[in-house]
């Protein structure tokens, strides 16, 4: 192993031109709970996260205390994969950036602006000597008037990219394949939720069912609201409670094997058609 001499410092390239600490950080994220986001640019974005329950004695308070999904501002949600403590410190700075922008410009921070600022911080820690990179990847789901709904992901290297559907955490490879097969441009938000739940249930260990205390769901969407008799589109941000998640799991029959298989077959046919087009 030629890595030994070069992996103790983040600032140093290996002779093959690699940064081992950054790669190790990415590796640690690939073992964390999965986080999936699916976007329909017209309707909104769904963010789904899997929390790993390490002990049944651990207090679970899904309604008031999310550990995988956070609000950065009234128009941006973020999903986390990796070290939660690293994530929280970055989220703290992100929230302050968002409020600072609002105070100076009187306008909500554009999504990409915030993503870039956080990514800049992450990048810096791949260069500082004697420090390790942030061990987190983020999924940012946001809306702004400039670019509408936007979905970004960022990783410990400081790179960020924009997606229609993406997953981070464990089993991203297989989740990404499923998403690529089943993503359709004209999905409603409800169908986005269904696809995200199905993708998660297929990529996690088949032995354990998806339960409301194992997942967190939130959406950012445009809803029609009637204000003084006039219908208007309003951006809204929703974090689902335990009960609502339970209802959704039942509604979409996520844990029912038979139904799932039937649907799978149907989809397989669809997928074949899609593939032919390509």
Partner 1 sequence: MSQQDPSTINGGIVVAMTGKDCVAIACDLRLGSQSLGVANNFEKIHQYGKVFIGFTGLATDALTLSADLKYKHNLYKLKENRGIQPEVFANLISSTLYEKRFGPYFSTPVVAGLSEKTGEPYVAGFDCIGCIDAARDFIVAGTASDQLFGMCEALYEPNLESEDLFETISQALLNAADRDAISGWGAAVYMITKDKVTKTYLKTRQD
**Residues in contact with partner 1 by the rule CB under 8 A:** 64-65, 71-74, 95-96, 99-100, 102-103, 106
Residues paired with residue 40 on neighbouring β-strands, in sequence order: 44
Q: How far is the CB of 175 from partner 1 (least distance, A)?
A: 29
Residue closer to partner 1 (CB basis): 92 or 265: 92
Q: Give 85 or 207: the residue with its C-beta nearer to partner 1.
A: 85
CB 220 within 8 A of CB 45: yes
Kindly state the smallest distance separating residue 102's Cβ from partner 1, in Å. 7
For residue 96, the minimal CB distance to partner 1 (Å) is 7
The residue among 70 and 149 lying less far from partner 1, judged by its C-beta, is 70
CA distances from 275 to 185, 268, 269, 270 (A): 16, 10, 10, 9
CB 203 within 8 A of CB 195: no
C-beta of 184: minimal distance to partner 1 in Å?
34
CB 125 within 8 A of CB 56: no
Strand partners for 71: 77
Q: Which helix (H) or strand (E) holds 134?
A: none
Between 77 and 81, name the residue whose CB sits nearer to partner 1: 77
**Cβ count within 10 A of residue 52:** 14
Smallest distance, partner 1 to C-beta of residue 36, A: 23
Using CA atoms of 62, 135, 173, 278 in order, give the dihedral in degrees to the nearest 10. Answer: 100
Residue closer to partner 1 (CB basis): 94 or 166: 94
């Amino acid at each position: 192993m030629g890595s030994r001499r070069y992996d103790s410092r983040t600032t140093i390239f290996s002779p093959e031109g690699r940064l081992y600490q950054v790669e190790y950080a990415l590796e640690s994220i690939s073992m964390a709970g999965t986080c999936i986001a699916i976007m329909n640019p017209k309707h909104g974005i769904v963010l789904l996260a899997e929390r790993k329950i390490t002990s049944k004695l651990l207090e679970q308070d899904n309604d008031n205390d999310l550990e995988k999904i956070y609000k950065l501002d009234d128009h941006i949600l973020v999903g986390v994969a990796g070290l939660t403590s690293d994530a929280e410190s970055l989220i703290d700075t992100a929230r302050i950036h968002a409020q600072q922008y609002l105070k100076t410009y009187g306008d909500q921070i554009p999504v990409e602006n915030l993503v870039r600022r956080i990514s800049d911080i992450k990048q810096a820690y791949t260069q500082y000597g004697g420090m390790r990179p942030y061990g987190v990847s983020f999924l940012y789901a946001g809306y702004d008037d400039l670019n509408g709904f936007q979905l970004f992901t960022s990783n410990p290297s400081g790179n960020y990219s924009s997606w229609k559907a993406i997953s981070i955490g464990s089993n991203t490879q297989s989740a990404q394949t499923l998403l690529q097969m089943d993503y359709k441009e004209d999905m409603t938000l409800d169908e986005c939720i269904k696809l995200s739940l199905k993708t998660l249930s297929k990529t996690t260990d088949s032995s354990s069912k998806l339960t409301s205390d194992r997942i967190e769901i939130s959406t950012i969407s445009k809803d029609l609201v009637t204000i003084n008799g006039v219908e208007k589109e309003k951006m809204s941000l929703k974090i689902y409670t335990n009960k609502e998640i339970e209802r959704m799991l039942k509604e979409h029959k996520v844990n029912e094997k038979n139904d799932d298989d039937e649907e799978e077959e149907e989809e397989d046919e669809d997928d074949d058609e899609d593939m032919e087009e390509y």
